[in-house]
Amino acid sequence: MTERKDDAKAEPAAAAPKRWLNRTVVGAGITSALGDFCYETTTVILPGFLAVLGIPAAVLGVIEGIADAVASFTKMVSGYIADKLGHRKLLVLVGYGLTPLGQALIALALAWPLILLGRTVSWFGKGLRGPLRDAIVIQAVSPQTRGRAFGFHRAADTVGAVLGPLLGVALLGLAQGWHWSDDAGPFRFVLWLSLIPGVLAVLAFLTLVRDPQHSPNPALKFFGSLRGLPLRFKRYLGAVGLFGVGDFSHALLILAATTLLTPSMGVVQAAQVAGLLYVWRNVVQVAASWPVGWLADRIGHLPVLVAGYVLGTLMALLTALAFWQDVESVPLLAGIFLIAGLYVAVQEALEATVTAAMVPRETMTMSIGALGTVNGAAKFVSSATVGVVWTAVSPVLGFGLAALLMAAGTLALLRVKGN
């Protein structure tokens, strides 16, 4: 059965076509841009912050893994609550409000436990809002234009992920020349400033986004609904999970660039360059997101997602090779970050739209939450494993193992496509 037939079965045809570029889509994009401006600034400077505090790669991997796991399980529960009670917008507002709170905790940290708490609070908020916001966007447009709507949303989302880290790196360089009591001072300064866009994100969602009619379903049962999900969707979740077990947090990719460049540049300059490489990754994602959605609307969302998974596997393999060859070339590292931007553009734009095409409308939000749970749980294993193997054995083995797992997930997704 084709994806379009699944889509037709999953929900009734709209009474009238909906404009895909509407107030809700634009408002959600602006909100996400501000939210990403806030927490992606932390993502780009966190590896350097941990480095000046003397915290090793294994701890960064565990911190990112735990944060992803918290976000993942929150996504499923929040999706279930929203489908059962119908209060989506309020939960999204709470989720966006938790991000600046987590940033403040990280700015106050003197050691890894408070950093872990701050990252967990931020990612709990991210998990709370993600599937609900995505469901609002999906229901604000027609099934035939989901790719374009999500491509636009992800592009707007990533604009914040470009501007935030870019400004963060610039401010880090500026603050470096000021007088501080320790080397962590410039990093804390940037973290405190990142709270401003986080607060603005809450205000933007409150005033700009309209939640399409979403009726509560009090009879919805959590475990019964999970058991009742379509078999093909369960297989899809299995493939996504297998790929995700290798899909490590890109905070580790930033740390990889920092580590490779430190011998020739020093840790602070290497952290700045690595931050700019991450900005470059986000620029690529912005540029690719809408074309990816446009292409998926025409040739199918699942085939394009498979191609994105292939790129992700290539990125992990090239990172392992970079450590094997002790690469210190910024252009070569920029190529790895370019591939990372391309595959993340595909992954973030299409995983939710493929989900929406496979499941009934009345459990769509919960199904998107299940997708997020599988992704986050897998990334917990991936980030923690890559960080620990990197520290205990070698980064070559850590990233090589990630590439192997991502390749297995890609093959599993190909089998889903063929069903």
Q: From its phi and psi, is residue 127 left (phi > 0), alpha (psi between -120 and 50) or beta?
A: alpha
| Alpha-carbon torsion (35, 37, 42, 44), positive or negative | positive
For residue 388, pLDDT beyond 80? yes
3-state secondary structure of 183: coil
Distance CA 259, CA 57 (A): 10
Interior CA angle at 195 toward 192 and 200, to 5°? 155
In a domain, 344, yes or no: yes
CATH number at residue 56: 1.20.1250.20
Please state, in angstroms and as integers, the Cα–Cα distance from residue 394 to each residue in 176, 320, 397, following that order.
32, 10, 6
Task: Identify the CA nearest to 146 among candidates 346, 290, 366, 353.
Answer: 353
Tens of pLDDT, residue by residue over 145-174, are 777 787 788 778 778 877 887 888 788 878
In a domain, 185, yes or no: yes
Distance CA 101, CA 103 (A): 5
In a domain, 360, yes or no: yes
Distance between first and last Cα of the chain = 7
Q: From its phi and psi, is residue 300 left (phi > 0), alpha (psi between -120 and 50) or beta?
A: left
In a domain, 4, yes or no: no
Tens of pLDDT, residue by residue over 235-288, are 999 999 999 999 988 888 988 999 999 888 887 788 888 888 988 998 898 888
Contact 382, 343 (CB under 8 A): no
In a domain, 220, yes or no: no
In a domain, 329, yes or no: yes
If one counts the domains in the chain, the total is: 1
In a domain, 168, yes or no: yes
Instruction: Say what the pTM is.
Output: 0.68
Task: Identify the CA nearest to 77 among candidates 67, 91, 98.
Answer: 91
Distance CA 259, CA 124 (A): 29
In a domain, 177, yes or no: yes
Note down the domain range covering 133: 21-209+229-418
Tens of pLDDT, residue by residue over 49-76, are 887 887 776 787 778 778 777 877 787 6
Give the pLDDT of residue 227: 67
Tokens of 174: 């500026």
Distance CA 190, CA 327 (A): 29
Alpha carbon 329 to its chain centroid, in Å, reads 27
